[in-house]
Amino acid sequence: MKFRRTLLGLAAVATALATFSAGALAQSNYKAEYKLSLVLGPPTPWGMAGKIWADMVKERTQGRINIKLYPGVSLIQGDQTREFSALRQGVIDMAVGSTINWSPQIKELNLFSLPFLMPDHAAIDALTQGEVGKDIFTRLDRAGVVPLAWGENGYREVSNSKRPIKSPEDMKGMKLRVVGSPLFADTFTALGANPTQMSWADAQPALASGAVDGQENPLFMFPVLKLHNMGQKYVTTWGYVADPLIFVVNKEIWNSWTPADQAIVRQAAIDAGKEEVALARKGLVEADKPLLKEIAGFGVTVTQLTPAEREAFVKATRPVYNKWKPTVGNDLVNKAEKAIAARKK
């Protein structure tokens, strides 16, 4: 009996050692540090998305997975358009990326840049948290990355140095800096503006000197960048497009982690995404919209469009919407329109 107990004890020890060895072997493939790419760093909501995610992962994996932030897409010399390709190639391990920046590689991501598709935050949520979001994640997975959660860079509002913008006519001939996407160029051209695609590094002196009249960006950027010091005296909140963010991991990196750690990283991304969305909307969803008051406090005229005024912009950009719908995918756009129509406001 004693001999049998000894054998059972030895067997239990052997099993424990084997389990430990398997776990240790799996973790021996882990990197000492993982590179996470971001366009913006803290204290912006986008930058905080990366920091919150990295901190959660380190704590919940007890230091097995350590993540270092690389804001300014510094891993690829600041070229935002190369981020998705670099992620697939393994130059970047992880990212919280922009649907706008990744749309040249994943055409379905142009959905969120269709002019005036999403009239409110509930509409964004209806897409990212519903079947449309799942469809896009399936597409990203096929493209070679592991998508985990959604964040948000917010609605892109327009500012300028010339006059309040209340109608498309107010934009006629206005030279406006836009992101490097053909869809954005088409949208602003349809409104009679002169869209100019340039990096933000080039845009800042151009705005300050008056070589460029205006720009479009999420409003949380206005005080961060001190746009009022670059001649931006007029802001219009028109909500023409929003830019959801996506938390992703390179597939080889993902497959190198244990299933338990994969589950931790996924849940941390979901939790970080929820926190980040709240940060991105702060000051805009409250009844008194304190962020608009802060911007007005810089001596800036803030114009909020009436439904009728907004409708004039919708009508003017509808040909662009219809032109790009087949590129995004007719079925996907139809599904998005139905989800938005059925949303709970």
CATH number for 78: 3.40.190.170
Any domain includes 11? no
The whole-number pLDDT of residue 16 equals: 46
Task: Decide if pLDDT at 199 tops 90.
Answer: no
The residue-averaged pLDDT of 72-98 equals 93
| Strand spans (E) along the chain | 34-37, 67-70, 94-98, 145-160, 175-178, 194-197, 214-218, 234-237, 242-250, 301-304
The residue-averaged pLDDT of 22-46 equals 84
Any domain includes 246? yes
Any domain includes 324? yes
| Mean pLDDT, the chain, whole residue set | 93
22 band by pLDDT with thresholds 50, 70 and 90: very low
Any domain includes 211? yes
Task: Decide if pLDDT at 92 tops 90.
Answer: yes
Any domain includes 178? yes
81 band by pLDDT with thresholds 50, 70 and 90: confident
The residue-averaged pLDDT of 21-45 equals 82
Any domain includes 207? yes
Alpha-carbon distances, residue 309 vs 306, 312, 313 (angstroms): 5, 5, 7
The residue-averaged pLDDT of 148-156 equals 97
The whole-number pLDDT of residue 21 equals: 44
Any domain includes 23? no
> Comparing 121-135, 194-208, 272-286, which segment has the lowest mean pLDDT?
194-208
**Domain tally for the chain?**
1
The DSSP symbol for 74 reads G
Q: Which domain holds residue 326?
A: 32-341
Any domain includes 323? yes
This prediction's pTM = 0.91
